[in-house]
Amino acid sequence: MGATFEIGLIGLGKMGGFMRERMRKGGLTVIGYDRNQDISDAKSLDDLVSQLSAPRKVWVMVPAGDPTRQVIEQLGELLAPGDVVVDGGNSKYTDDQVHAAKLGEKNIGFVDAGVSGGVWGLKNGYALMVGGDVKHVSLVQPAFDVLKPAGDFGFVHAGKVGAGHFAKMVHNGIEYGMMQAYAEGYELLAAVDVVDDVPAIFKSWREGTVIRSWLLDLLDNALSADPTLDKVRGYADDSGEGRWTIEAAIDHAVPLPVITASLFARFASRQEESPAMKVVASLRNQFGGHAILPETAAGSQTGEGTGATAGATDHKH
């Protein structure tokens, strides 16, 4: 590695593009690749790799599943022993173990990174939960240090390969439960005649209460813009991570009644209008920039995924 830390970044959509900008502002050299050549720094994955000094660090920010698998397989053919691949998308933790094993056959390291922060990450920093061998994590640490929020919190080396995405999966499950609790509280407050100003109640809770949180701040933002949420359709999609959290709970016989109920509530939102789901839809727009469907529109919204495709400029959680 030269005097300046270098890293490749594949997938320059909403989140990947902001991450590139934050790392560059932090003094790092970032070579980005996206199939949209208008925003790409490299013409191809091969070109990206050729611009990096050994040991190469390449961060993948594409959707989980086949897109991630295909990119990692290509990198396995292009990188050399001693290089490291970081999967910063919303991959299932079991996929991480497969990717690490395949890259390990060629002595290429692998780190899984759960990333939270959404559209606010450029300004506030990204919460990072990573898994992998210490030597591989250490190679990428300068990038983690710049991406994380200022201060003592926001980064954890959670354990071996898969631990980062497992931690992010549970994080998203907790997020489901918190959003649902706020949403149900909103619906009850709005249903009674004795309460005159529901948005003012949520605003008052932002200080001095035990339920204050960033999500509450974002809900206040949403209600300030649309006090009765008339512009929002009460439809909320779910990401794979919410379902994977419940699957893992079943596998390990861990009861998750709140998180499970919050997932099922999203299913209900697709069957009929729900004031509570309008809150969830608004919060997802506030923290992740996910589209809000008009009141009369049909269809679905995107999930909470943090990644962006290498061929698209817009994309979790």
Residues 6+ apart with CB under 8 A from 148: 125, 126, 127, 128, 154, 155
Q: Check if the beta carbon of residue 299 is closer than 8 Å to that of residue 293.
A: yes
Q: Judge contact between 292 and 301, C-beta under 8 A.
A: yes
CB contact at 8 A, 239 and 172: yes
Q: How far apart are the first and last CA of the chain?
A: 32
Q: How many residues does the chain have?
A: 317
- Encode 157-185: b = buried (16+ Cβ within 10 Å), e = exposed: bbeebbbbbbbbbbbbbebbbbbbebbbb
| 57 close to 275: Cβ distance less than 8 angstroms | no
186: which 2 tokens? 């909103």
Residue 175 annotated to the active site: yes
SS3 content of the chain, % helix, strand, coil (to 5): 50, 10, 40
Whole-Å CA distances, 191 to 134, 206, 221: 53, 22, 21
- 6, 14, 92, 175: the catalytic one is 175
Residue 168: active-site member: yes
* Amino acid at residue number 306: T
User: Which pair of structure tokens corresponds to residue 101?
Assistant: 């094993």
Q: Which of 148, 168, 278, 316 is catalytic?
A: 168
Q: Are strands 84-87 and 57-60 parallel, antiparallel or unpaired?
A: parallel
Which residues does the annotation mark as catalytic? 168, 175
